Amino acid sequence: MRAVWLREFGGPEVLRVEETPEPPVGPGQVMIDVTYTNTTFVETQVRANAGPFEVELPMIMGNGVGGVVTTVGEGVDKALTGRQVVSSTGGSGGYAERVATDAAGLFDVPPGLDLDAAVALLADGRTAVMLVRTVGIAKGDRVLVEAAAGGVGTLLVQLARSAGATVVAAAGGDRKVEVARDLGAEHVVDYLRPDWTEQVREAVGGVDVVLDGVGGTVAHAAFDLLDRGGRMLSYGLASGEWAGISADAAAERGVALVTSTPTQEELRTFTIDVLAEAAAGRVRPLIGQRFPLERAADAHAAIQGRATVGKTLLEVR
C-alpha cells in the first residue's frame, strides 16, 4: 500500500509517499480501506517539530480517516465488514491506503451524510460541539469566533448561531472574511487590520464569549473586548503561540478563563452528535481543499501558508 512517511523533521518536502506493508490487524481491531484522510494545522507543527506534541520518528502521519471496513480481528463482530465508517487512528497511520485501528473507536456514517463530510467533522466537529457546550453559549450572547474561516471556526459560527447567539466572526484576509460572511455571521471583521477591535465595539459593544483559536496578540486583543462576566475559551494556536492570559488578569477584569478536559466517553458523544446534526442538515462542514494522497506535502504547505479555508482532506482513492 501507499503511505506518507515522516522520517525527519522539516518543511512540507520531508513528507514522502512510499510503498509500505499493510499493518497487521490485531485482536479488537479492524482494517479500513481508506477513502479520505483528515489533515490538521497541528500536524504541520508535528512535521516541523514545532508543535505541542512530541513524536518518535519514523512515523506515518495522520490521525483521522474514513472508508470501508474490510477485515476484522479476533473478538470483533464480523457484521462490521463492509460498513462505511470514520475513525481516529491513535495519533498516527492515517496518511495511508489502509489503516488498522481499534473497532471500539469506529463511528458509522449516518444515512444522508457523505463520507467526505463525515471525515471533515471527525476532529473539528467534536471540538466545536465541545467548545460550545463547555463555554455555555446561550441565546443573546455576543460571541466572538476567531479563525472563523477555519475547520473548527466555520462550525463554531454555525453552532453559536443555532444557539441563538449574535456571532462576530474574525478571520484573516479578504477571502476568509467572505467565507465567514457566507456562513451567516451577523458581523465579520478582518483581524489583520489594525482597527478590527474598534469595528467589533462599533458593531456590538463588548462581547460575552471569546472562542480563541489563534492565540498570541489576536487572543489578547479579543480578551480586551470581553465585558465583565464574560468567558474565554482558548483551543488553538494558529499564530504559533497560546493566548497566555493570566488568571490574575482575568480576575481583575471579572472574566472567566474556561477550560475543557473531556473524557473519552464525552468525546465520543460529541462526535456522534455532530454527525447526526450534519446528517439532519443543521450543520455543514466546509471542505475548502482536496489533495490526492501523493500531494500530502502540498496540503501541508497550503495549511501552513494560511492559504486554506475550512477543512483540507487527502483523497486516497
> Is 114 a domain residue?
no
Before 110, cis peptide (omega within 30)? no
Burial (CB < 10 A; 0-12, 13-18, 19+), residue 58, is exposed
**For the chain, what is the domain count?**
2
How high is the pLDDT of residue 236? 85
> Is 117 a domain residue?
no
How high is the pLDDT of residue 30? 98
> Is 227 a domain residue?
yes
The CATH number of residue 196's host domain is 3.40.50.720
> Is 172 a domain residue?
yes
The answer to whether residues 149 and 226 belong to one domain is: yes
> Is 23 a domain residue?
yes
> Is 85 a domain residue?
yes
The answer to whether residues 237 and 309 belong to one domain is: no
The answer to whether residues 31 and 142 belong to one domain is: no
Tell me which residue has cell 493566548: 243
CA distance 115 to 118: 5
How high is the pLDDT of residue 238? 80
The answer to whether residues 131 and 204 belong to one domain is: yes
Q: What is the pLDDT along the chain (317 residues), one digit of tens a residue?
A: 999 999 999 999 999 999 999 999 999 999 999 999 999 998 999 999 987 778 999 999 999 999 999 999 999 999 999 999 999 999 999 999 999 999 999 999 999 999 999 999 999 999 999 999 999 999 999 999 999 999 999 999 999 999 999 999 999 999 999 999 999 999 999 999 999 999 999 999 999 999 999 999 999 999 999 999 999 999 987 877 888 899 999 999 999 999 989 999 999 999 999 999 999 999 999 999 999 999 999 999 999 998 899 999 999 98
The answer to whether residues 133 and 239 belong to one domain is: yes
CA distance 222 to 212: 8
Question: Against a cut of 0.85, is the pTM above it?
Answer: yes
The answer to whether residues 103 and 182 belong to one domain is: no
Q: Which domain holds residue 133?
A: 123-258
The answer to whether residues 140 and 253 belong to one domain is: yes
The answer to whether residues 83 and 138 belong to one domain is: no
